[in-house]
Every structure is written in structure tokens, then in C-alpha cells.
Amino acid sequence: MPSSDPAQRFEDILDNIGRIEGYTAGMDGAAFLEDHKTYDAVERCLERISEAARKIGVLAEELCPGIAWAEIRALGNFLRNEYERIERGRLWLVVERDLTPLRAAVQLALDRLTSA
């Protein structure tokens, strides 16, 4: 069931993106893959982002049409249930390529929700 407070869920996404950025500041892909604590922390934050996206429901697609919400939601299930199949380098690519556009889109959506 979608959350009754989508603004809070968008804030949760921004919070977890910020955490990931803090955890990985100054790292490259090799350092990330060698640092098991950071890897685990990032994985958990991605699970939270995925869960928040699930709770937002179709409103996410309406407010952020350029974001691959289905893939974000699926990532959480994959991390929880198929963890042994995770290509560890793929998580670094998510950090490196996907979080910045997600942050920008979510911030715009949150601004729209809170100014309405």
C-alpha cells in the first residue's frame, strides 16, 4: 500500500542518498569494493531507498517521470533475496551514476509536494 505521506518517503530517499555520499566520499570503485563496512552500509541504504520508492507508489512516476522506479523497487528485492548473485561492482555503478539524477528528481518532486 502506498504511504500516506509521500513527502516523508521522498525525504527518506534524499537522506539515504546523503548517507551513501558521506560513506563513499573520496573513494573509488576499488576502495569501495575492499571496504566491507562501507559496502554493507551502502547496500542497506539502497534497500531503504527501494522501500521508500515502493511506499510512494505510482506518485513517484508521476512526479519524477525520467527515473526508473520499477528498477529501484526491484533492486531492494534483489538485495534482500538474491544477495549471493549480486555483482559487487554494480553497486558502485549505482553510486557513481544513478544517485545524482535520482537526488535531483526527488528534490524537485519534494519541492512540488511541499509547495502545494
Q: What is the DSSP string of 47-116?
A: HHHHHHHHHHTTHHHHH-TTS-HHHHHHHHHHHHH-GGG--HHHHHHIIIIIHHHHHHHHHHHHHHHHH-
pLDDT band at 1; cut points 50, 70, 90: very low
Mean pLDDT of 14-24: 98
Q: Exposed, middle or buried: residue 44 (CB in 10 Å: 0-12, 13-18, 19+)?
A: middle
Residue 83's pLDDT band, with cuts at 50, 70 and 90, is: confident
Q: Compute the C-alpha angle 48/50/54, nearest 5°.
A: 115
